[in-house]
Structure 1
């Protein structure tokens, strides 16, 4: 080896050593050790993991996990400690600047692009989601206040929403982003209402129709929310606002205002973030929810200004940690049935998705809000339920 090559090798080695020390120092603040013995300690399986994380942030970090380049026995605890210590805010690689600007400047949730998440995420296969979710196929946060199982938590959440909306027999309810129809079926069966659901997933609509029994007054419409014009006594949107995008928040509220009768109530259930100036996670955007975006509290209320009175805001984001861990347990238990359909990279991708999100909710980095809106304010005041 000649001298220039030797010097170049030494420089590369020194840079990697410096990166390793930098990450070791950061992890120490979160009580995480590189190649340590605790369940939440990160285990490096291949070279370049740290350099990838420094240069490409969570996108590169997540992809290197999918490739098997690093691991942690308890991935949810690893991410909980990392986010609780705010370490993810300390690394802002230049390569992610384009992603942040793109999310800020472009309307990535236009009517044309809104169908992409349905095709790439929700149409993975109904049997796959049935194996992971509760018996009602509810793909949103459960309410664990008095629940011990996933089924109990999801039924408690559905009933909580019905009570917040003050449903009465004969009312007509619009469900924007209805999924497989779990809310509509529950509300129709237990509260005697008629429901119309909007979805952009053909798989969800067809499977949801097959689940409806005993002639329940439930209708699925394969339609973008912007195209709905009919008026309803109540409106609900559970876990769909995360796909709307900040450039469309006002239009979403305009649609809800247009479709809600003057004396009606509108409940919005959405994940939210704490900091306005943060871009959507590039790994989640690429592999899980294309074009997704979490709002901050002020963006929701700004979009509703002049259209709705905010009657109630309820945050039970900590319950999403329990929900995600229950989904993960079901996913792991049923993975052998899907091993021939999805490869090992998909398995690691899905684990990363469920467990990193559980850690984020546990760290209170992201929230789960339920808003109740009225058009003119409830006469005498709105009575809160929990």
Structure 2
């Protein structure tokens, strides 16, 4: 059901003057009021001026209000981002946001728990309906031959465990443990003791309730307060919340907590350009204070601290993961329709499908960095 529109589309406004957005979108073979799945179906002509003036925020908010639709949002965003058309709309706003990210620490200790409260605490039942059976909220590993979302996520978890070379008796730290998918899998299948940290009360409660019979601890805390040492460390889908001003601090914490012969796996979404900013709509509505790192920024952060043993990009698998989440989201929405309004429905639909289009266009990436402590004195063994 990739890109399938679940709701009835409102009538299209057919009489209007040609707009500058017509010219911009035409470069990506997108027509306003066209009849193809990726075409924009306009319901309020004034929305075009708002999109041109406010860029990503105008595009997202006008969609949330129902000012326009597209039968296949993922295809529309793939076409827009493949040609990077967003650069043509209000570039000065991006410059101001870039300056702000340099001047203000948006991911300070005081702000650390905001994303947990606003995004991850939306409700465990909501995420259970959208995700796989282990509630893995990060990219699946489809290229291993997975046919279902459950298989893709279990393949990813096992890939991480094998890269880390987990052995019975080891202690594993998961920085940003989510609903406990990695720590529970590692404890069950590799015989390790696990500690996870999260900034989400709902996630912490879920781990404590569901994995009380496993050697798994979970703590509601900021990563900067970590002091214990571990044989292995993983961080899966959390580094996107750290921010450029804190990248070095994060790596210093990882080094402090890693035994001299240990390994650290960093699994993170990444951007292609160092000097770029977070999409403002995503930051405001989905991941407050989020900021994707570039490969260069991660390299700077580990300089003289950790050694990069391996770098693995499987960002194209995120497209399929997001489309699977969207399929689950649409299929189960009715059970949440009384709890959440239509505004949230359109917000999440826009989020999932726009991100799928972004990964499909290679606009953003998914990396697994294997890092070791140079104090080990030799090349780390990676299974």
**What band does the TM-score fall into relative to the shorter chain?**
over 0.9
Question: Secondary structure of the residue that 2:253 maps to in structure 1?
Answer: helix
CA distance in 1, matches of 2:277, 2:300: 19
CA drift of 1:93 comes to 4.8
**Are the equivalent residues in 2 in contact too, given 1:55–1:94 (CA < 8 A)?**
no
In structure 2, the partner of 1:173 is: 172
CA distance in 2, matches of 1:362, 1:377: 39
CA distance in 1, matches of 2:192, 2:63: 46
1:305 pairs with 2:303: yes
Structure 1 residue ranges (4+ consecutive) displaced by more than 2 angstroms after TM superposition: 92-101, 377-385
In structure 2, the partner of 1:153 is: 152
In structure 2, the partner of 1:208 is: 207
Q: Deviations over 1:15-66 (max 9, x none)?
A: x94xx44222221211111111110001111021221111101011100000
Q: Which runs of 5+ in 1 are unaligned?
A: 1-15
Q: Which runs of 5+ in 2 are unaligned?
A: 1-15
- Of 256, 260, 263, the residue aligned with 2:261 is 263
In structure 2, the partner of 1:67 is: 65
**Are the equivalent residues in 1 in contact too, given 2:197–2:219 (CA < 8 A)?**
yes
In structure 1, the partner of 2:6 is: none
CA drift of 1:98 comes to 3.8
- Of 98, 101, 119, the residue aligned with 1:100 is 98
In structure 1, the partner of 2:161 is: 162
Query: Which residues in structure 2 correspond to 1:112-123 (within 5 Å)?
Result: 112-123=110-121
**Are the equivalent residues in 2 in contact too, given 1:176–1:198 (CA < 8 A)?**
yes
- Of 346, 349, 352, the residue aligned with 1:348 is 346
CA distance in 2, matches of 1:137, 1:78: 28
Query: Which residues in structure 2 correspond to 1:11-160 (within 5 Å)?
Result: 17=17, 20-95=18-93, 97-145=95-143, 146-160=145-159
Question: Secondary structure of the residue that 1:123 maps to in structure 2?
Answer: helix
In structure 2, the partner of 1:4 is: none
1:274–1:377 Cα change, 3 Å: farther
* TM-score, length-scaled by structure 1: 0.92
CA distance in 2, matches of 1:167, 1:235: 10
Question: Secondary structure of the residue that 2:122 maps to in structure 1?
Answer: coil
CA drift of 1:383 comes to 5.5
Q: Deviations over 1:48-94 (max 9, x none)?
A: 12211111010111000000001100000000011112211222254
Q: Deviations over 1:152-198 (max 9, x none)?
A: 00000000000000000000011000001000000000000000001
Question: Secondary structure of the residue that 2:168 maps to in structure 1?
Answer: coil
Question: Secondary structure of the residue that 2:326 maps to in structure 1?
Answer: helix
CA drift of 1:378 comes to 6.7
CA distance in 2, matches of 1:263, 1:384: 12
1:251–1:379 Cα change, 3 Å: closer
> How many residue pairs end up in the alignment?
367
